[in-house]
C-alpha cells in the first residue's frame, strides 16, 4: 500500500532491546499491542507505476573495505508530495518520541533542542537549488536479497512485461517503484534514526541511445540507410595496392 495507508497516529514504540549485534533498537508497530513482524511499518513510495516514480541518484553504493557488502545504499529522489509529507511527519514523530522517552532511551531527560541534532533524518533536503529531496533505502544483496524486477516492455494498455533482475541493475538514473519497510529505530553512541529497507523494487532501465539514434533530429527529418555498393575483387586489390597505408 502507498505510504498514506500507514496511520502514524497509532504507532507504538516498544521498550528498547538489543539486536543480534548487541546494538540498541526500539521496535515500532503499526498495531498497538502487536509484536507480529507483519505489523511493522511497510509502504510503497510512489502512488503507482504511472505516478511519481523515483530516480536513483547515484546508483547502488559500492562498499568500502571493511563495510558490510550484504546491505548497500540506494539514494532515491522524493517525487511524491505525499511521500515527502509522510517522511517529514515520521521524522518529527520519532524526534518527539525520543524527547518524551528520553529517560528510558538515553538515561537522562533531554529537550528537543538536544535530541534533534542526534537524529538522522530519512528525508534529506536537496543538495543544490535545482535538485530534489531524497531518501535512502538499504538494498539486501546476500541472504534474503531485495527482489528486483526489470520492466522490459509496456503495451498500449499500460500492461508491463518484466524479468527478474539483481542489485546490479540498480544503476544511476533508473526509474524505480519501491516497497520499503522498517522495524523501528536504531541507536549508536551519539546518533539514532530509522533505516528503510527495500524489499521489492520495480525498475525501468535507463536505456541510452547509441549510433544514429543518439542524434537529436528534426521531427520532419527521415533517415534511411543506404546499402554499401559491392566492389569487384580485382578492383579491391588494385585499390589496396595503391593505398600508402597498406605498404
pTM: 0.82
C-alpha cell at position 188: 549508536
Alpha carbon 71 to its chain centroid, in Å, reads 13
C-alpha cell at position 36: 507480529
pLDDT on residue 239: 44
pLDDT on residue 43: 98
- Asked if residue 40 lies in contact with residue 183, where contact means CB atoms within 8 angstroms, the answer is yes
Nearest to 122 by CA among 98, 71, 87: 87
pLDDT on residue 69: 87
Long-range contacts of 93-100 (CB under 8 A, 24+ apart): 93/8, 93/11, 94/119, 94/185, 94/193, 94/194, 95/119, 97/13, 98/192
Terminal alpha carbon distance of the chain = 71
Dihedral over Cα of 8, 14, 16, 21: its sign: negative
pLDDT under 70 in the chain at which residues?
Answer: 207-214, 216, 219-220, 228-247
β partners of residue 1: none
Distance of alpha carbon 144 from alpha carbon 16, whole angstroms: 26
DSSP state of 224: -
Helices and strands counted in the chain (H then E): 4, 14
C-alpha cell at position 135: 531518501
> Counting every residue, how long is the chain?
247
Half-sphere exposure of 57 (CA within 13 A, CB side): 18
> CA dist 32 to 10, 17, 24, 36, Å?
7, 17, 21, 10
Count of C-beta atoms within a 10 Å radius of residue 91: 18
Distance of alpha carbon 25 from alpha carbon 108, whole angstroms: 17
Amino acid at each position: 500500500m502507498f505510504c498514506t495507508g500507514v496511520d502514524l497516529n497509532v504507532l507504538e514504540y516498544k521498550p528498547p532491546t538489543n539486536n543480534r549485534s548487541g546494538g540498541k533498537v526500539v521496535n515500532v508497530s503499526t498495531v498497538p499491542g502487536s509484536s507480529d513482524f507483519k505489523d511493522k511499518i511497510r509502504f510503497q513510495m510512489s502512488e503507482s507505476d504511472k505516478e511519481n516514480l523515483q530516480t536513483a541518484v547515484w546508483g547502488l553504493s559500492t562498499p568500502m573495505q571493511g563495510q558490510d557488502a550484504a546491505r548497500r545504499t540506494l539514494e532515491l529522489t522524493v517525487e511524491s508530495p505525499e511521500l515527502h509529507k509522510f517522511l517529514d511527519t515520521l521524522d518529527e514523530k520519532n524526534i518527539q518520541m525520543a524527547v518524551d522517552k528520553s529517560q528510558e532511551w538515553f538515561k537522562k531527560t533531554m529537550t528537543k533542542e538536544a535530541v534533534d541534532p542526534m537524529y538522522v533524518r530519512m528525508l534529506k533536503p536537496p543538495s543544490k537549488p535545482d535538485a530534489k529531496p531524497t531518501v535512502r533505502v538499504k538494498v539486501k544483496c546476500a541472504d534474503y536479497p531485495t527482489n528486483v524486477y526489470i520492466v522490459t516492455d509496456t503495451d498500449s494498455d499500460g500492461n508491463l512485461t518484466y524479468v527478474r533482475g539483481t542489485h546490479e541493475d540498480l544503476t544511476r538514473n533508473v526509474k524505480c517503484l519501491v516497497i520499503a519497510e522498517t522495524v523501528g529505530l536504531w541507536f549508536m553512541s551519539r546518533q539514532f534514526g530509522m533505516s528503510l529497507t527495500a524489499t521489492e523494487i520495480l525498475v525501468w532501465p535507463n536505456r541510452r541511445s547509441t549510433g544514429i539514434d543518439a542524434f537529436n533530429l528534426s521531427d520532419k527529418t527521415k533517415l534511411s540507410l543506404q546499402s554499401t555498393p559491392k566492389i569487384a575483387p580485382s578492383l579491391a586489390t588494385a585499390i589496396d595496392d595503391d593505398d600508402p597505408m597498406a605498404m
